[in-house]
Chains A and B, each alone.
Chain A
Amino acid sequence: MIGGLFIYNHKGEVLISRVYRDDIGRNAVDAFRVNVIHARQQVRSPVTNIARTSFFHVKRSNIWLAAVTKQNVNAAMVFEFLYKMCDVMTAYFGKISEENIKNNFVLIYELLDEILDFGYPQNSETGALKTFITQQGIKGQPQTKEEQSQITSQVTGQIGWRREGIKYRRNELFLDVLESVNLLMSPQGQVLSAHVSGRVVMKSYLSGMPECKFGMNDKIVIDKQGKGGTTDEPGKSELGGSGKQSIAIDDCTFHQCVRLSKFDSERSISFIPPDGEYELMRYRTTKDIILPFRVIPLVREVGRTKLEVKVVIKSNFKPSLLAQKIEVRIPTPLNTSGVQVICMKGKAKYKASENAIVWKIKRMAGMKESQISAEIELLPTNDKKKWARPPISMNFEVPFAPSGLKVRYLKVFESKLNYSDHDVIKWVRYIGRSGIYETRC
Chain B
Amino acid sequence: MTDSKYFTTTKKGEIFELKAELNSDKKEKKKEAVKKVIASMTVGKDVSALFPDVVNCMQTDNLELKKLVYLYLMNYAKSQPDMAIMAVNTFVKDCEDLNPLIRALAVRTMGCIRVDKITEYLCEPLRKCLKDEDPYVRKTAAVCVAKLHDINAQLVEDQGFLDTLKDLISDSNPMVVANAVAALSEIAESHPNSNLLDLNPQTINKLLTALNECTEWGQIFILDCLASYLPRDDRESQSICERVTPRLSHANSAVVLSAVKVLMKFMEMLPKDLDYYGTLLKKLAPPLVTLLSAEPELQYVALRNINLIVQKRPEILKHEMKVFFVKYNDPIYVKLEKLDIMIRLASQANIAQVLAELKEYATEVDVDFVRKAVRAIGRCAIKVEQSAERCVSTLLDLIQTKVNYVVQEAIVVIKDIFRKYPNKYESVIATLCENLDSLDEPEARAAMIWIVGEYAERIDNADELLESFLEGFHDESTQVQLQLLTAIVKLFLKKPTETQELVQQVLSLATQDSDNPDLRDRGYIYWRLLSTDPVAAKEVVLAEKPLISEETDLIEPTLLEELICHIGTLASVYHKPPSAFVEGSRGVQHKRLPPRAGSPDVGQSGPSEAPPAVIPSQGDLLGDLLNLDLAPPTATVPSVQPSMQMGAMDLLGGGLDSLVCSSPAASHFATNVISGLGDLFDLGGGVGMPTGSYVAPKTVWLLAMKAKGLEISGTFARRGGIIQMDLSLTNKAMSVMTDFAIQFNRNSFGLAPAGPLQVLTPLSPNQTIDVSLPLSTSGPVMKMEPLNNLQVAVKNNIDVFYFSCQYPLSLLFVEDGKMDRQVFLATWKDIPNDNEAQFQIKDIHLNSDVASNKLQGSNIFTIAKRTVEGQDMLYQSVKLTNGIWVLAEMRIQTGNPNYTLSIKCRAPEVCPFVYQCYELVLKN
Contact = CB atoms under 8 A, between A and B. Distances in A.
Given A145-B98, A193-B325, A250-B286, A70 B360 contact: no
Given A106-B64, A160-B215, A148 B100 contact: yes
Contacts of A104: 3
B108 interface: yes
Given A44-B333, A250-B289, A76 B38 contact: no
A385 B301 CA distance: 34
Given A45-B333, A113-B108, A138-B64, A74 B583 contact: no
A363 interface: no
Given A118-B147, A251-B287, A385-B403, A105 B322 contact: no
B322 A193 contact: yes
A71 interface: yes
A237 interface: no
B326 to A, nearest CB: 10
Contacts of A261: 212, 243, 246
A338 to B, nearest CB: 24
A192 B322 contact: yes
Nearest to A386: B401
A106 B583 CA distance: 33
A384 interface: yes
A39 B609 CA distance: 55
B101 A152 contact: yes
B696 to A, nearest CB: 36
A388 interface: yes
A137 B570 contact: no
Nearest to A269: B249
B238 to A, nearest CB: 15
Given A106-B64, A152-B100, A120 B573 contact: no
Interface in B562-577: 566, 568-574
A49 B249 contact: no
A279 B570 CA distance: 28
Contacts of B356: 186
Nearest to A155: B136
Contact of B253 (A57, A80, A109, A259): A80
A50 B568 CA distance: 20
A93 to B, nearest CB: 10
A42 B249 contact: no
Nearest to A16: B42
Given A49-B581, A256-B216, A75 B42 contact: no
B217 A121 contact: yes
Contacts of B357: 192
Given A45-B333, A256-B216, A74 B573 contact: no
A403 interface: no
B174 A158 contact: yes
B249 A264 contact: yes
Contacts of A438: 328
B68 interface: yes
Contacts of B640: none
Given A106-B68, A155-B136, A436 B329 contact: yes
Given A14-B43, A388-B363, A70 B139 contact: no
Interface string A118-153: 101111110000001000011011100100110111
Given A102-B3, A102-B4, A106-B68, A54 B179 contact: no
Interface string B39-66: 1001110000000000000000111110
B581 A56 contact: no
Interface string A299-318: 00000000000000000000
Nearest to B296: A46
B213 interface: yes
Interface string B1-29: 01110110000000000000000000000
B62 A137 contact: yes
A90 to B, nearest CB: 14
A390 B287 CA distance: 31
B38 A436 contact: no
A260 B247 contact: yes
Contact of B568 (A76, A113, A186): A76
A335 to B, nearest CB: 15
A390 B328 CA distance: 8
B217 A77 contact: yes
Contacts of B257: 74, 76
Nearest to B353: A192
A197 B147 contact: no
Contacts of A252: 249, 290
Interface in A137-196: 137-138, 140-142, 145, 148-149, 151-153, 155-158, 160, 184, 186, 192-193, 195
B67 A110 contact: yes
A77 B246 contact: no
A141 B64 CA distance: 9
Contacts of A393: 328
A398 interface: no
Contacts of A391: 328
B38 A105 contact: yes
B414 interface: no
Interface in B614-630: none
Interface in A1-47: 1, 13-17, 19-23, 26, 29, 42-47
B583 A284 contact: no
Interface string B70-86: 11000100000000000
A75 B570 contact: yes
B321 to A, nearest CB: 10
Contacts of B61: 141
B296 A109 contact: no
Contacts of B857: none
Nearest to B71: A109
Nearest to A30: B44
A71 B135 contact: no
B532 interface: no
B224 interface: yes
B873 interface: no
A303 B187 CA distance: 72
B149 to A, nearest CB: 10
Nearest to A83: B295
A371 B788 CA distance: 86
B167 to A, nearest CB: 17
Interface in B336-369: 353, 356-357, 360, 363-365
B573 A284 contact: no
Given A46-B333, A256-B216, A120 B250 contact: no
B325 A184 contact: yes
Q: Which of A152, A156, A254, A436 has the most CB of B within 10 A?
A: A156
B64 A137 contact: yes
B583 A52 contact: yes
Nearest to A186: B356
A386 B363 contact: yes
A72 to B, nearest CB: 4
Contacts of A423: none
A73 interface: yes
A46 B214 CA distance: 29
Interface string A230-264: 00000000000000000000111111100111011
B905 to A, nearest CB: 50
Given A79-B298, A256-B215, A284 B570 contact: no
Contacts of A124: 217
A138 B62 contact: yes
B232 interface: no
A46 B300 contact: yes
A266 to B, nearest CB: 11
A-B pairs, top 3 by smallest CB distance, nearest first, are A137-B64, A251-B286, A152-B136
Given A47-B574, A76-B301, A282-B251, 10 more contacts: A74-B224, A76-B258, A106-B38, A148-B98, A157-B173, A263-B249, A279-B251, A284-B293, A384-B403, A440-B360
19 contacts: A19-B75, A45-B333, A49-B581, A54-B570, A71-B570, A77-B258, A99-B4, A120-B217, A137-B62, A137-B63, A140-B63, A141-B61, A156-B176, A186-B356, A252-B290, A253-B250, A263-B249, A388-B364, A389-B363
